């Protein structure tokens, strides 16, 4: 296997090769570090590259393999961690101003779980400041670029994770998702990402954005790898009060079985309205593929769909401002323009409006779960449009960020409100070569069905196997911000 092949190998392949002693974890990590320093330079996907630490961890895995120790299901797999999540001894920046940084003494539980499974933490990924936005134009660390067109946004807030996975800078990455921050960059970067059920993956050691909407999950190139990472990351942890004790199925062994007979609901109203033409076509094609694989596709109505994003807007505004209150009062000027506006607007939401939005949430969740009495999964476009250009004018960037967020989260944030599992899989490209994502949503704690549907789709298509035109074929880094 060439170094480039290693950079685009699946997690399952890498773990198998490393466990068998056919490839060393060091060789895998070196290949990725080299790619980060070359092809990856144009993307600005990382806030920290943990080169020496990663090589040391790889050497320990290789030594264990030589001694015959069990190496773990992610043996030698390079994983990047969104820089909102604690990695012991490495500054957690949250993409914010240096005055807000801190250096955790221990890993977040999900970081520990990944390490225990043999993953090598290769770096921390750039993000929208405090995960509060979708452009990933970060005023402190610079803009992350989309690997398919470096003049465009990768989506966010886990944009560094999406770009890094797409470009072969890591095999998998951790993302977080409060309104779409795993699924939006997955769609815009052409990778696979799942926001699991609320409570499925513990969030201790992760800087909050909005407690009742925050989720963490994996971003990978394939559904099979997402399943592998998710089963490692999932499971109860007492340090997160919302963490669920529900048993974690062995997701990666439950992928096969196809979609024959699966009841797929298509909510044409709201979720399929006001779409970019190419996005609509590619997502329609994907629904056709699911039908051709034997799924039973029906149109369904999600009652009050337009109200879901409104409830999210009120809830996120209040919870985010509550978390940032002290910093905001003390040092508002240290926030970027768009995030400062988002945080300060929360001062002006009455408590009664917050409680109203939570009441609405209960109603809207009940209503959508009633829709699921007649279907197994719901499918929608992950985003209404493909990756937008990066705003070049710093003075205009904040305003663009504020308006752009409203558009990109429309199909994703309803499922942060309801807490349902939602997966984005690549389902084609626009005429300009930009990736499009299909979102597959399931019942609470039924990630198994969501992953099975996504896996069946990837077994029948090759969109997830395409590689972005880096290595000199894309625009030169000097041409962009």
Q: Identify residues 442-481 at the interface with other proteins (CB under 8 A).
A: 444-445
| Those residues with Cβ within 8 angstroms of residue 268's Cβ, 6 or more apart along the chain or in another chain | 299
Our finding on whether 347 is near other proteins (CB under 8 A) is yes
Provide DSSP, 21-79. Answer: TSS-HHHHHHHHHHHHHTGGGGTT-EEEE-HHHHHHHHHHHHHHHHTT----TTTT-EE
Our finding on whether 357 is near other proteins (CB under 8 A) is yes
Quick one: which segment of 134-142, 178-186, 258-266, 309-317 binds other proteins (CB under 8 A)?
309-317
Our finding on whether 337 is near other proteins (CB under 8 A) is yes
User: Residue 227 and residue 235: Cα distance in Å, rounded?
Assistant: 14
- 350/389 with CB nearer other proteins: 350
The pattern of x and - marking residues 207 through 236 that bind other proteins according to CB under 8 A reads: -----x------------------------
- 279/368 with CB nearer other proteins: 368
Closest C-alpha to 19, from 79, 70, 78: 70
Question: In the bound complex, what is the minimum distance in angstroms from residue 353's beta carbon to other proteins?
Answer: 4
Q: Identify residues 392-411 at the interface with other proteins (CB under 8 A).
A: 398, 402
Return the residue of 168, 199, 235, 381 that touches other proteins, per CB under 8 A.
Answer: 199
7 contacts 31 by C-beta, under 8 angstroms: yes
For 144, left (φ over 0), alpha (ψ -120 to 50), or beta?
beta
Our finding on whether 356 is near other proteins (CB under 8 A) is yes
User: Residue 281 and residue 80: Cα distance in Å, rounded?
Assistant: 33
User: Residue 326 and residue 328: Cα distance in Å, rounded?
Assistant: 5
Question: In the bound complex, what is the minimum distance in angstroms from residue 76's beta carbon to other proteins?
Answer: 35
Residue 418's CB: how many other CB atoms inside 10 A? 21
Within 84-214, strands assigned E span 120-125, 137-138, 142-143, 172-177, 192-195
**82 among known catalytic residues:** yes
Return the residue of 88, 322, 349, 481 that touches other proteins, per CB under 8 A.
Answer: 349
- 341/371 with CB nearer other proteins: 341
Burial group, residue 48, by CB count within 10 angstroms (0-12, 13-18, 19+): buried
Rounded (5°) CA angle 304-305-306? 95
Q: Tell me which of 124, 145, 157, 385 is the catalytic residue.
A: 157
User: Residue 136 and residue 142: Cα distance in Å, rounded?
Assistant: 8
461 contacts 427 by C-beta, under 8 angstroms: yes
**181 among known catalytic residues:** yes
**405 among known catalytic residues:** no
Our finding on whether 307 is near other proteins (CB under 8 A) is yes
User: Residue 294 and residue 261: Cα distance in Å, rounded?
Assistant: 6
Q: Identify residues 314-333 at the interface with other proteins (CB under 8 A).
A: 314, 317, 329
Residue 56's CB: how many other CB atoms inside 10 A? 13
Return the residue of 358, 433, 466, 467 that touches other proteins, per CB under 8 A.
Answer: 358
Quick one: which segment of 63-71, 167-175, 346-354, 431-439 binds other proteins (CB under 8 A)?
346-354
Our finding on whether 242 is near other proteins (CB under 8 A) is yes
- 105/351 with CB nearer other proteins: 351
Our finding on whether 239 is near other proteins (CB under 8 A) is no
Our finding on whether 336 is near other proteins (CB under 8 A) is no
Question: In the bound complex, what is the minimum distance in angstroms from residue 127's beta carbon to other proteins?
Answer: 21
312 contacts 306 by C-beta, under 8 angstroms: no
Our finding on whether 134 is near other proteins (CB under 8 A) is no
- 198/408 with CB nearer other proteins: 198
Our finding on whether 204 is near other proteins (CB under 8 A) is no
Q: Identify residues 415-444 at the interface with other proteins (CB under 8 A).
A: 417-420, 444
User: Residue 442 and residue 4: Cα distance in Å, rounded?
Assistant: 35
- 105/333 with CB nearer other proteins: 333
Our finding on whether 135 is near other proteins (CB under 8 A) is no
221 contacts 464 by C-beta, under 8 angstroms: yes
Our finding on whether 63 is near other proteins (CB under 8 A) is no
Q: Tell me which of 124, 145, 158, 181 is the catalytic residue.
A: 181
Read off the tokens for 220.
């990978």
In angstroms, how far is the first alpha carbon of the chain from the final one? 35
449 contacts 439 by C-beta, under 8 angstroms: no
- 167/397 with CB nearer other proteins: 397
Our finding on whether 345 is near other proteins (CB under 8 A) is yes
Return the residue of 236, 263, 280, 310 that touches other proteins, per CB under 8 A.
Answer: 310
Residues in contact with other proteins by CB under 8 A are 197-199, 212, 242, 244, 304, 307, 310-311, 313-314, 317, 329, 337, 340-342, 344-345, 347-350, 353, 355-366, 398, 402, 417-420, 444-445
Residues annotated as part of the active site? 82, 157, 181
């Amino acid at each position: 296997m060439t170094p480039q092949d290693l950079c685009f190998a699946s997690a399952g392949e890498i773990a198998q090769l490393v466990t068998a002693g056919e490839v060393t974890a060091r060789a895998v990590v070196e290949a990725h570090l080299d790619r980060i320093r070359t092809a990856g330079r144009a993307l600005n996907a990382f806030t920290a590259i943990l080169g020496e630490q990663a090589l040391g961890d790889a050497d320990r895995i290789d030594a264990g393999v030589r001694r015959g120790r069990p190496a773990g299901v992610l043996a030698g797999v390079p994983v990047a961690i969104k820089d909102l999540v604690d990695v012991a001894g490495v500054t957690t920046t949250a993409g914010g101003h240096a005055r807000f940084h801190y250096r955790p003494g221990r890993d977040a539980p999900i970081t520990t779980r990944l390490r225990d499974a043999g993953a090598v933490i290769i770096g921390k990924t750039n993000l929208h400041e405090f995960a509060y936005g979708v452009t990933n134009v970060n005023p402190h660390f610079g803009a992350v670029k989309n690997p398919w067109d470096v003049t465009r946004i990768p989506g966010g807030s886990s944009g560094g994770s999406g770009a890094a996975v797409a470009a072969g800078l890591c095999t998998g990455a951790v993302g977080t998702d409060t309104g779409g921050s795993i699924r939006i960059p997955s769609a815009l970067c052409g990778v696979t990402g799942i926001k699991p059920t609320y409570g499925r993956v513990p969030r201790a050691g992760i800087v909050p954005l909005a407690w009742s909407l925050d989720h963490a999950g994996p971003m990978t190139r394939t559904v099979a790898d997402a399943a592998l990472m998710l089963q490692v990351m999932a499971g109860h942890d007492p340090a997160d009060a919302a963490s669920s004790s529900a048993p974690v199925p062995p997701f990666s062994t439950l992928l096969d079985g196809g979609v024959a007979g699966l009841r797929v609901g298509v909510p044409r109203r709201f979720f399929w309205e006001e779409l970019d033409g190419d996005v609509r076509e590619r997502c329609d094609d994907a629904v056709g593929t699911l039908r051709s694989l034997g799924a039973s596709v029906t149109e369904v109505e999600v009652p009050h769909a337009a109200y879901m994003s409104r409830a999210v807007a009120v809830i996120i505004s209040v919870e985010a401002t509550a978390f940032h209150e002290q910093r905001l009062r003390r040092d508002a000027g240290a926030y970027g323009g768009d995030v400062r506006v988002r945080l300060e607007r929360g001062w002006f939401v009455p408590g009664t409006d917050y409680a109203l939005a939570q009441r609405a949430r209960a109603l809207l969740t009940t209503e959508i779960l009633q829709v699921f009495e007649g279907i197994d999964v719901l499918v929608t476009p992950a985003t209404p449009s493909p990756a937008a250009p990066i705003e070049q004018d710093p003075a205009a960037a904040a305003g663009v960020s504020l308006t752009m967020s409203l558009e990109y989260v429309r199909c994703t944030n309803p499922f942060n409100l309801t807490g349902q599992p939602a997966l984005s899989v690549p389902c084609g490209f626009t005429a300009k070569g930009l990736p499009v994502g299909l979102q597959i949503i399931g019942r609470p704690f039924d990630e198994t069905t969501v992953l099975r549907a996504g896996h069946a789709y990837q077994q029948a298509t090759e969109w997830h196997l395409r590689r972005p035109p880096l290595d000199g074929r894309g625009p030169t880094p000097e041409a962009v911000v």
